[in-house]
């Protein structure tokens, strides 16, 4: 089994979009962090994800060989062209929401990137190796914050519980596999995300229990990101992120 | 291989293979003068360390058309990489090398294991605690190991922020990765 170049590009763009969208959401905290140290930490994590996005976009552009660049992917595509998983695009909310989302995504990414290191595609394997090393720091930080917020004050506990409740239905999508994911997996290029679910659930359950946060019932879920069907939040985000290039096409620093 | 003949040191026997190969590439290169020239290119965020010390400078090759300098990024989003690429080109241009191409190589992934003992000592003197794998992190000013973590992330992606409980100074710690 193998996949063609168009499939490979589409697959790589998914990973690029995931990284770019969450990088932007994290970067929105710049100068709004609850403390100077947190401001630095959030934007440093954003920087790691931005770097990851650039590597994936750069690789997609290389595969496409049609004049696309990392910038045209980031700035010239509309909402429906983005194929990120929805959890990444949710508005940053309060600090509890940002950290809850980050923790859930960090747990997933650590496991995903760990496996992607074995990809038969050497570029994807190399990017995954870098992402995995950085991801361990992200996860350490976000899991500590969950404990502090959940087991902190009544206010911080309630906010974190609310955040986990609001995000929970978006975690289903992390483990879905469509035809392309399946083909990439069978070709030895991608990862079987469904296989990651049990271990993710085990780790998340343990952390949330320690943080005195209860696991919400899995009675709703939203999916569609990989097909370009997004929440209303992404359009608002892009209108700000893409404004300059839309108003002044080709403008450079 | 002069590099491997220095005094007994536990770090030497643990020299990672990728770093051994990097040292060998420089040692056996026909372009030694260019490797030496690039020793003046520093990490803009950590000026006591050159890109060679850091393990960012990986290889230099020459074809008829160009000189190709291969570097490996420290962290995926580190903005210093852009500055470093420009500095490499500037230094070589000033030395009369016209066509310089800076190539980025991702694998093998950069690791702090590639920092030499002398680079670690210079970091400490600069006020940044060097990365530790197993030994305790110590304050770069008073060497105390009674410390507390302020933040997993500091002023740059490669550093975390700590405070010394003995002399009370906050300090940057170069994270092992």
**Could you read off the pLDDT of B63-98 as tens digits, one per residue?**
888 999 999 998 888 888 889 999 999 999 999 988
Given a cut of 90, whether residue B116 has pLDDT beyond it is no
- Which of B:24-53 have CB within 8 Å of A? none
Would the pTM count as exceeding 0.80? yes
Boundaries of domain holding A177: 5-213+222-247
Among A75, A108, A105, A110, smallest CA distance to A90 is for A105
What is the C-alpha separation between B33 and A248, in angstroms, rounded?
A: 45
pLDDT (average), residues A212-239:
96
In CATH terms, B2-110 corresponds, of 1.10.3720.10, 3.90.1150.10, 3.30.300.130, 3.30.450.150, to: 3.30.300.130
What is the CATH number for A145? 1.20.1260.10
What ipTM is given for this predicted complex? 0.77
pLDDT (average), residues A88-117:
97
Element (H, E) at B159: strand B159-164
Cβ–Cβ gap B152/A125 under 8 Å: no
**How many folded domains does chain A comprise?**
1
Given a cut of 90, whether residue B3 has pLDDT beyond it is no
Cβ–Cβ gap B109/A37 under 8 Å: no
pLDDT (average), residues B138-153:
91
- Which of A:131-150 have CB within 8 Å of B? 131, 133-134, 137, 140-141, 144
| A100 in any annotated domain | yes
pLDDT (average), residues B103-113:
90
Cβ–Cβ gap B76/A129 under 8 Å: no
What is the C-alpha separation between A242 and A228, in angstroms, rounded?
A: 17
The minimum CA-CA distance between B112 and chain A, rounded to whole Å, is 11
Given a cut of 60, whether residue B169 has pLDDT beyond it is yes
* Percent of all residues in chain B with a pLDDT value above 90, rounded to a whole number: 60
Instruction: Among A129, A131, A141, select the one facing B107 at the smallest CB separation.
Output: A129
Task: Kindly give the pairing relationship between strand B100-104 and strand B67-71.
Answer: parallel
Q: How far is residue B27 from each of residues B3, B21, B58, B101, measured CA to CA in Å?
A: 9, 10, 12, 21
pLDDT of residue B13: 53
- The 3-state DSSP class for residue A190 equals coil
The minimum CA-CA distance between B76 and chain A, rounded to whole Å, is 4
Say whether residue B170 is in contact with chain A using an 8 A CB cutoff.
Answer: no
pLDDT digits (tens, 9 = 90+) for A12-57: 999 999 999 999 999 999 999 988 889 999 999 999 999 999 999 9
What is the C-alpha separation between B108 and B56, in angstroms, rounded?
A: 11
């Amino acid at each position: 089994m193998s996949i063609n170049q168009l499939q490979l590009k589409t697959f790589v763009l998914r990973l690029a979009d995931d990284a770019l969208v969450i990088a932007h959401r994290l970067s929105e905290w710049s100068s709004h962090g609850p403390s100077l140290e947190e401001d630095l930490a959030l934007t440093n994590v954003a920087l790691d994800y931005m770097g990851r996005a650039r590597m994936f976009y750069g690789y997609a552009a290389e595969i496409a060989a049609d004049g696309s660049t990392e910038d045209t992917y980031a700035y010239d595509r509309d909402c429906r062209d983005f194929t990120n998983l929805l959890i990444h695009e949710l508005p940053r909310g309060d600090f509890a929401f940002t950290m809850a989302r980050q923790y859930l995504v960090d747990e997933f990414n650590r496991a995903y990137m760990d496996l992607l290191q074995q990809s038969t595609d050497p570029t994807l394997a190399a990017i995954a190796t870098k992402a995995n090393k950085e991801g361990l720091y992200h996860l350490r930080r976000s899991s500590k914050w969950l404990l502090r917020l959940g087991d902190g004050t009544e206010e911080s506990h309630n906010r974190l519980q609310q955040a986990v409740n609001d995000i929970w239905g978006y975690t289903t999508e992390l483990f879905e596999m469509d035809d392309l994911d399946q083909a990439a997996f069978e070709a030895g290029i991608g990862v079987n995300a469904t296989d990651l679910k049990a271990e993710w659930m085990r780790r998340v359950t343990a952390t949330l229990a320690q943080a005195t946060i209860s696991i919400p019932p899995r009675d709703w879920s939203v999916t569609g990101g990989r097909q370009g069907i997004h929440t209303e939040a992404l359009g608002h985000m892009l209108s700000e992120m893409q404004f300059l290039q839309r108003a002044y096409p080709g403008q450079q620093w | 291989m002069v590099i491997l003949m220095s005094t007994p040191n536990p770090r030497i026997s643990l020299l990672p293979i990728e770093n051994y190969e990097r040292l060998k590439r420089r040692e056996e290169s026909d372009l030694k003068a260019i490797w030496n020239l690039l020793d003046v290119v520093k990490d803009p965020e950590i000026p006591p360390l050159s890109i060679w010390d850091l393990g960012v400078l990986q290889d230099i090759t020459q074809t008829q058309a160009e000189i190709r300098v291969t570097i490996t990024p420290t962290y995926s989003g580190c903005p210093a990489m852009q500055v470093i690429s420009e500095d490499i080109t500037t230094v070589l241009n000033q030395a009369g090398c016209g066509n310089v191409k800076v190539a980025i190589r991702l694998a093998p992934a950069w690791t702090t294991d590639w920092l030499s003992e002398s680079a670690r000592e210079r970091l400490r003197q600069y006020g940044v605690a060097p990365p530790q794998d197993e030994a305790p992190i110590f304050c770069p000013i008073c060497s105390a190991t009674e410390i507390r973590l302020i933040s997993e992330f500091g002023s740059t992606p490669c550093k975390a922020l700590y405070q010394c409980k003995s002399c009370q100074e906050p300090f940057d710690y170069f994270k092992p990765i």
